[in-house]
Amino acid sequence: MVCPACNGIIPLSHVCPRCGSLMEDTGPISLFYGPYSPYEDLETLVAGDGSGVHAWDRCIHLLACSNCGTDRRVMVDLVTQ
């Protein structure tokens, strides 16, 4: 299973709820946990996420607004290749 946002299959963008600007996808949130987090197994990342969400079939992306600094997490459903 692959993430369509990570692999460029779909564009991922949302309107900022604070200022109305277009938010940019800064990548999967696992990139921000630490230098080795992209190589961790999914169970370890979900346990350390703190969100209480078990995202076995989803990739959690961080979207950020360059205008006002607002960010939000968005879950992207994984697809089969």
Average pLDDT over residues 47-72: 78
Asked if residue 48 lies in contact with residue 28, where contact means CB atoms within 8 angstroms, the answer is: no
CA-to-CA distance for 59 and 3, rounded, in angstroms? 6
Task: Say what the pLDDT of residue 17 is.
Answer: 96
Q: Does the pTM exceed 0.75? A: no
Q: Is 61 a member of any domain?
A: yes
Asked if residue 40 lies in contact with residue 46, where contact means CB atoms within 8 angstroms, the answer is: no
pLDDT at 63 over 50: yes
Q: Is 1 a member of any domain?
A: no
Q: Is 8 a member of any domain?
A: no
Q: Is 29 a member of any domain?
A: yes
Task: Say what the pLDDT of residue 24 is.
Answer: 96
Q: Is 46 a member of any domain?
A: yes
pLDDT at 30 over 90: no
Average pLDDT over residues 41-65: 67
CA-to-CA distance for 77 and 62, rounded, in angstroms? 14
Q: Is 7 a member of any domain?
A: no
Q: How many structural domains compose the chain?
A: 1
pLDDT at 75 over 60: yes
